[in-house]
Amino acid sequence: MNYAYHIQTYGCQMNVHESEKLAGILQSRGYTACDRVEDADIIILNTCCVRETAESKVYGHLGRIKSQKRAGAVLAVCGCMTQRRDVAESLAKRCPFVDIVLGTFNQCRFGEYLDEFLHTGAKIVEVWDSAREECAAPIARTSGVNAWLNIMYGCNNFCTYCIVPYVRGRERCRPLDDVLADVDGLLKSGYKQITLLGQNVNSYEHKGKNFIDLLKLLDNGEKYRLKFMTSHPKDFSTELAEQISSSAVLSKSLHIPVQSGSNRILKEMNRRYTREEYLAKIAGLRALVPEIGLSSDMMVGFPTETEDDFLQTLDLAQTVRYNNLFMFIYSRRSGTPADKMPQLDYKTKQARIDRLIKAQFEISKRIAAEHVGRTATVLVSEKDGDKCFGKAEDDSAITFDGANVAVGDFVRVKITSAKNANLKGEVV
Ligand code: SAH
Ligand code: SF4
Ligand code: F3S
């Protein structure tokens, strides 16, 4: 008998990778992946709670899955949302058709929980307060030419709006040798891009070796592309900018979330840098790596944000000119300090995000137009017929025709046109 699993993932890359670990556990028990909930013997929702919208999506999907799932199929909910014990318990009550509810720290024992449930048939709700072990399960990778690789877990920063430190625990760095061995193995098995994951990779430290030491060791003469996320501006150093400039493997792109352009709001957010410090770091990086592609996260409607604070955020976006900007409306998260501050009304927040999105749309369009005529090295990640898709060094997405090109190739492509932010090119 062949059993099938279906995993639905919400949230960030970290969670995408956690789902690859859950899939690894299930595959080692003989289960195979399936696309449709209706075909699955086990369904897992790997949840996110960074914003309220992420949580409401989960409840919406649960309602649908209830009627779609096979009789006898096991339904499990895990991830950041159910790491909050109160949420785990209320979800178990509200949705009695859910069989297993786990926190993030319990997930790497998913196989054992599943066995227990299949044996006893009794609902399981278990949430540990902290990590008890590092997950040793095999990983069933799903991300094509790219492989995700944790170098650390958790976060110590406690930005006042953010739930992540509460659901992912304190910062824990993996041993340097383990990371190096994993990279070695991934390159041997043919991965062309590796993305190092951590909530704040800049603070990586293990036995006196820091993030820069790690990046130097990973510039190992192999031909591949190395990326990392996320980089906290307060810890972004000149040494890191120099490493990006000199490394043969590091992508010439950087995700460096600013959140706000107002010093007063940055302080309320506990971000521990000023607008001026942030801009000086960006200028220093651009002086060393002029072609760098920058992306960022920005939030509008943080408690007490005034029109003037918002204008400074808008101004910062226009000053930096990010290639890519992820824009969010501040969302209240219970248990965080910002939840207790005076809140803005929904209409104000919505109007501000609309203005920011509009401004960024124009910036992205112009940056794309500026790319026309340039030649880039593209890592091909998808191919459909002769149509190829991939990312350039600066993370620009480019489509082009490539009859003799294969997924995983690095190809020189001349950018011939730009429509909004979409680039087209031809092999040179
Ligand atoms: N560790 C990373 C990413 C954390 S979550 C970092 O520090 O950048 C990803 C993004 O979600 C954040 O950068 C932030 O912009 C957004 N975010 C976090 N909490 C939020 C909240 N309560 N409301 C709206 N957006 C939020
Ligand atoms: Fe959240 Fe701040 Fe940690 Fe990022 S650095 S995960 S925004 S607390
Ligand atoms: Fe990621 Fe969401 Fe958790 S952003 S760390 S999946 S709360």
Distance 162 CA to ligand 1 centre (A): 6
Model confidence pTM above 0.75: yes
Alpha carbon of 232 to ligand 2 centroid (Å): 8
CA gap 65, 75 in Å, rounded: 9
pLDDT given at position 60: 95
Q: Which helix (H) or strand (E) holds 116?
A: helix 110-120
Q: How far is CA 199 from CA 73, 168, 169, 286, in A?
A: 34, 10, 11, 24
pLDDT for the residue numbered 138 = 87
Tell me if 170 CB under 6 Å of ligand 2: no
In sequence order, the 6+-apart residues with CB closer than 8 A to the CB of 154 are 131, 165, 168, 169, 170, 171, 172, 199
Say whether 20 sits in a helix, a strand or coil: helix
Give residue-wise pLDDT tens across range 200-242.
999 999 999 999 999 999 999 999 999 999 999 999 999 999 9
How many residues belong to the chain?
Answer: 428
- Centroid of ligand 3 to alpha carbon of 148 (angstroms): 15
* Alpha carbons 297 and 269: distance in angstroms, whole number: 14
b/e map 34-47, b = 16+ CB within 10 Å: beebeebbbbbbbb
Hunting for tokens 């995000």 — which residue is that?
Answer: 353
Ligand 2 pocket member 165 (CB < 6 A):
yes
Q: Which residues of the chain have pLDDT under 70?
A: 1
User: Which amino acid, residue 87?
Assistant: V
Pocket mutation for ligand 3, best pick of 8, 49, 87, 200 (most atoms within 8 Å of C-beta):
49
Query: Are 152 and 201 within 8 A, CB to CB?
Result: yes
Q: Is 346 exposed, middle or buried (0-12, 13-18, 19+ CB in 10 A)?
A: exposed
Query: Would you state the pLDDT for residue 420?
Result: 85
Q: Is the minimum distance from the CB of 164 to ligand 2 under 6 angstroms?
A: yes
Secondary structure class of 135 (helix, strand, coil): coil
Which tokens sit at 243?
A: 């490493």
Q: What is the DSSP letter of 51?
A: S
Q: Is the dihedral of CA 326, 331, 337, 342 positive or negative?
A: positive
pLDDT at 1: 65
Closest residue by CA, ligand 2 atom 1: 162
State the pLDDT at residue 164. Answer: 97
Specify the residue with its C-alpha closest to ligand 3, atom 2: 48
CA distance 388 to 401: 6
Q: Tell me which amino acid residue 114 is.
A: L
Cα–Cα distance, 11 to 406 (Å, whole number): 30
Q: ∠ CA 355-357-359 to the nearest 5 degrees?
A: 70
What are the angstrom distances between the C-alpha of 229 and each of 147, 196, 251, 353, 423?
13, 6, 12, 24, 24
* Calpha distance 242→281 (Å, rounded): 12
List all residues 6 or more positions away from 191 whose beta carbon is below 8 Å from its beta carbon.
145, 146, 147, 224
CA distances from 338 to 267, 328, 361, 386 (A): 12, 15, 29, 51
Cα-to-centroid distance, 199 and ligand 2 (Å)? 6
Say if ligand 2 is within 6 A of residue 62 CB. no
Asked whether the CA dihedral 291, 297, 303, 308 is positive or negative, the reply is positive
Cα of 156 from ligand 2 centre, angstroms = 8
Buried-exposed string 186-208: b where 16+ CB fall within 10 A, e elsewhere: bbeeebbbbbbbbbbbbbbebee
Residue 17 CB less than 6 A away from ligand 3: no
Bridge partners of 308, per DSSP, are none
Q: Is the bond leading into 377 cis (omega within 30 degrees of zero)?
A: no
Please indicate whether residue 198, judged by its CB atom, sits closer than 6 Å to ligand 1. no
